[in-house]
Amino acid sequence: MRALSECNPIAAALFFLAVTLITMFTMNPVILGISFVCAVVFFCLISPKKGFKQHLLFLGLGLILALINPLVYHNGVTVLFVLNDNPVTLEALIYGIVASVKIIGTLYWFRSFSLIMTEDKLLYCLGSLSPKTAQVLSMALRYVPMFRDQIKKVHLAQKGIGLYKEDNMIDDVRGGLRVFSIIVTWALENGIITADSMAARGYGTGRRTYFSLFRFTKYDGLLVLITLVLSLVPAVLMILHHAEVVYYPVLQLPENTTGTLFIYICFTLLALLPEMLYLEDRISWKYYLSKM
Amino acid sequence: MEILSVENVSFSYAGSAEETLHDISFTVEKGTFVTLTGNTGSGKSTLLRMLKRELIPNGKKSGRVLFNGEDTEKLSDREAATGIGFVMQYPDHQIVTDKVWHELAFGLENLGYPKDIIRRRVSEMACYFGIEEWFEKPVTSLSGGQKQLLNLASVMVTQPEILLLDEPTAQLDPIAASDFIATLKKLNRELSLTIILVEHRLEEAIPACDKLLVLKEGQVLLYDTPEKTAAGLKEWPELLYDMPAAVRLYHAFDIKEAACPLTVREGRDFIEEHFKRDVLSLKKPAYQPESKTALELTDIMFRYEKTLPDVLNGLELKVNEGEIFCVLGGNGSGKSTALSVAAGLRKAYRGKIRVFGKDIREYKNRTLYQECLAMLPQDVQTLFLCNTVKEELEDAKAEKLSLPYDLTHLYERHPYDLSGGEQQLLGFAKVLAAKPRLILLDEPTKGLDPGSRRMIADILRSLKKEGKTILIVTHDVEFAAEIADRCAMFFRGEITSTGVPDDFFSENYFYTTSINRMTRGLYEKIVTLKDAEAILKENGERSW
């Protein structure tokens, strides 16, 4: 197997979708705890930088989120203390902490997602859904840096022949507007020639295919299969009210039925999947090096 | 076998009564490399577009074009798109997608090929054209030469039988241009691909091609092997400006028995065989520069970003008042950057710039750009902000200016619709409107036909007579040799040598004019065609 970053983007996207959806739709503290820990570990594994500031930011955010709930929500039977004539309850505090773990965990998954799913990979996923949209997006992605460069060039060129005659704001803004208006003309002009080039290369002569550099290997198939099994089984069981937690008015943890246990095991395996793939990749590389 | 035959094609643009093409007929054999040339307005680009159905401009067309014996109008969409490939002048305009690999695949995607075939063809093309190194890069990060190579490769993936190219090297520097022509020759030789190339810069293209077609006022003037076509141009001196230096030198004399030389080697043989070598050098007055300095750069250091390497590395440059100074150098050597730093558009992090003896930082409130210094950028289009030429001139307060040339016939046109040469002239007008004493020019001859180039040279000379100082950054060795008072070589962010053109170019071995390479060792310090003619006339023909 290969690390998640090397897998087919669709397989990788499916994994992220599965793990974040389950995380988002449950309030079970065990599942959320597992999700949070795995998300943090995975992010630390793949993040190129230490990301100390990032962790600090997330920690701060988590603390605030955890404390807001008991301060604004006063349901629950176990009163810890009274603040401004309002009871602060244990249940609301626990709920706040669990919700905060859930949100921060999800954010960590998103951070890993954005590290792994680069621009090309997202375009590839979009391309498999709608080739036309992906084509338009690919053209747009070229135009953005081109515009930026052209605007910069026009500004310098105009400055070089004294367009911005006086050194003041009004003159600068006026010049900026004129530059912008000519850039629009330039873009249209460019677009016409690009359209010619597209026609000359057979655009619109028939059904298009969408090409990309990514392949879908049997490992990707396996990954998709594992992801589906490990996410659909707990999802179905959760819909059948296993592993359900009640917070108000009294905290009620789920009974340890086989179903609940099964959910925990499946989800743990799912959330550990990227870490396992990553470590397997590292270990086989080390092993390979030692043989050289 | 004929792959293409053009039968009585005439064409007039929509809204124009005049015929741009007039009753043109010619055939192209399979596997030949045809170069098509002619002055501006001779209709060569229009003719090329007649051959590619999708690109025929609006207008009235008569006659027909046969591709493999079949009228191109009757080909299926697919056959028309794949059988005939087309590469245009501006590298940026033809690129459609954002990544190199995707651009290569674009044509095949359009034809609905399955992924496996696309993968195979794309990888094969990338290998053949040497694109592997930058295969996954975004297209915006490529150099002009790379972009044009990518355009060629992405047309070749659909395996066309004939390739049409409309001035593909006009926007490239000389090295990239000669690489590009070499690639075309390779395609022609190895795949027996039929090629029709429209080109101004013929120094490289003529030795590479099998047939040379010359258009004049919408009609075929000559169509034969390059030797015969070049030899037949005697009566049309205005067409000779396009030709390689060897051909022009040949036509300056009337030696009946000699074959027309095309390359530097043949030109050298021609000189050796037919001329005496009694006088070795021309007597010229030594160059006397003005004592005042117009622009002085001392120890300039510059980089674009903190983490990037230095682009200018202790640059020292001194331009005297009233002279034309040319800075030559390769691509990416930083010479354009040096110009924008000298113009105060970018700030050096170390060093001093003095403009007419005054520190550039003391020109407060942008007085630097008022009747002092102005710069013509490489891409002149960036100077235009209005919808017509007239507005453009009025806006710059240039309409009352006595320009050394006339633009009134273009007044109602949009600046973007002008030809490259006309755009350059309009750009010049805007620069001159700022009444600068020091003019900085970035590649003023890029993409221009020889006629416009001569016009620019004349303008620069007349500006010099008015006492203006001119600093030019250019790739164009021939242009610099002709116009400059002094030249300098730019390399890795600094000036490595300076001198008057005759000395400067004679001391260079590669980076010099074709005439100098032809006469090296035979005569001394001959750099331009004019000098070569003079010294050969002085020596006289050899009698056998």
Give A180→chain B minimum CA distance, Å: 9
Query: Residue A212: what pLDDT?
Result: 87
Ranges A214-223, B292-301, B408-417: which has the least confidence: B408-417
- Chain A residues within 8 A of B401 when measuring between CB atoms: none
- Chain A residues within 8 A of B88 when measuring between CB atoms: 193, 196-197
- Chain B residues within 8 A of A182 when measuring between CB atoms: 384-386
- Are the C-beta atoms of B52 and B84 separated by less than 8 Å? yes
B93 contacts A197? CB cut-off 8 A: yes
| Least CB–CB distance from A178: residue in B77, B107, B385 | B385
Give the three-state DSSP class for B258: coil
- Mean pLDDT of all residues belonging to chain B: 90
A208 contacts B385? CB cut-off 8 A: no
Token pair belonging to A174: 């006026």
Token pair belonging to A172: 């600068």
Higher pLDDT, B397 or B203: B203
Q: What percent of chain A has pLDDT over 70?
A: 98
Q: Does residue A185 belong to the interface with chain B, where contact is any CB pair within 8 Å?
A: yes
Tell me which of A122, A211, A213, A216 to substitute to probe the interface with B (most B C-beta atoms closer than 10 Å). Answer: A211
A190 contacts B93? CB cut-off 8 A: yes
A149 contacts B140? CB cut-off 8 A: yes
Give B534→chain A minimum CA distance, Å: 40
Token pair belonging to A154: 């026009």
Please give the average per-residue pLDDT across A120-139, as a whole number: 87
Tell me which of B385, B418, B431, B442 to substitute to probe the interface with A (most A C-beta atoms closer than 10 Å). Answer: B385
Beta bridge partners of B500: none
Ranges A45-59, B2-16, B174-188: which has the least confidence: A45-59
Beta bridge partners of B198: B36, B166
Residue B493 — very low, low, confident or very high, per pLDDT cuts 50/70/90? confident
A156 contacts B377? CB cut-off 8 A: yes
A139 contacts B138? CB cut-off 8 A: no
pLDDT at B499 over 80: yes
Please give the average per-residue pLDDT across B475-488, as a whole number: 92
Query: Residue B394: what pLDDT?
Result: 85
Site of tokens 């033809």: B94
Please give the average per-residue pLDDT across B266-279, as a whole number: 91
Query: Residue A167: what pLDDT?
Result: 62
- Chain B residues within 8 A of A153 when measuring between CB atoms: 377, 379, 382
| Residue count (chain A) | 292
| Least CB–CB distance from A200: residue in B81, B370, B386 | B81
B113 contacts A166? CB cut-off 8 A: no
Which A residues 44-103 touch B at CB under 8 Å?
Answer: none
ipTM reported for the complex, 2 dp: 0.84
Residue B297 — very low, low, confident or very high, per pLDDT cuts 50/70/90? very high
Give B425→chain A minimum CA distance, Å: 15
**B31 Cβ partners below 8 Å, 6+ apart?**
B188, B192, B193, B194
CA dist B153 and A31 (Å) reads: 53
Residue B302 — very low, low, confident or very high, per pLDDT cuts 50/70/90? very high
Residue A17 — very low, low, confident or very high, per pLDDT cuts 50/70/90? very high
pLDDT at B139 over 70: yes
Which DSSP string corresponds to B382-449?
Answer: GG--SSSHHHHHHHTT-TTS--SS--GGGTTS-GGGS-HHHHHHHHHHHHHHT--SEEEEESTTTT--
- Chain B residues within 8 A of A157 when measuring between CB atoms: 375, 377, 379, 382-383
CA dist B327 and A90 (Å) reads: 78
pLDDT at B267 over 90: yes
- Chain B residues within 8 A of A164 when measuring between CB atoms: 366
Cα–Cα distances (Å) from A183 to A192, A283, B412, in that order, read 14, 53, 20
Q: Does residue A281 belong to the interface with chain B, where contact is any CB pair within 8 Å?
A: no
pTM for the model: 0.86
Give B190→chain A minimum CA distance, Å: 23
Please give the average per-residue pLDDT across A166-180, as a whole number: 78
- Chain A residues within 8 A of B345 when measuring between CB atoms: 156, 159-160
Query: Residue B300: what pLDDT?
Result: 93
**B23 Cβ partners below 8 Å, 6+ apart?**
B8, B9, B10, B63, B219
Query: Residue A220: what pLDDT?
Result: 93
Residue A165 — very low, low, confident or very high, per pLDDT cuts 50/70/90? low
| Least CB–CB distance from A211: residue in B115, B383, B416 | B115
Please give the average per-residue pLDDT across B63-68, as a whole number: 94
Token pair belonging to B355: 């403009």
Site of tokens 């807001």: A68
Helical H runs in B201-293?
A: 202-208, 226-231, 237-240, 245-252, 264-274
B340 contacts A156? CB cut-off 8 A: yes
| Least CB–CB distance from B343: residue in A135, A160, A211 | A160
CA dist A141 and B300 (Å) reads: 36
- Chain A residues within 8 A of B386 when measuring between CB atoms: 182
Closest chain B residue by Cα to residue A204: B110
Tell me which of A161, A171, A192 to substitute to probe the interface with B (most B C-beta atoms closer than 10 Å). Answer: A161
Helical H runs in chain A?
A: 9-24, 29-46, 52-72, 90-116, 119-129, 131-160, 169-200, 218-239, 258-291
Tell me which of B56, B92, B95, B96 to substitute to probe the interface with A (most A C-beta atoms closer than 10 Å). Answer: B96
pLDDT at A172 over 80: no
Query: Residue B5: what pLDDT?
Result: 94
Ranges B228-232, B372-376, B394-398, B464-468: which has the least confidence: B394-398
Q: Does residue A207 belong to the interface with chain B, where contact is any CB pair within 8 Å?
A: yes
B345 contacts A160? CB cut-off 8 A: yes
Query: Residue A166: what pLDDT?
Result: 59
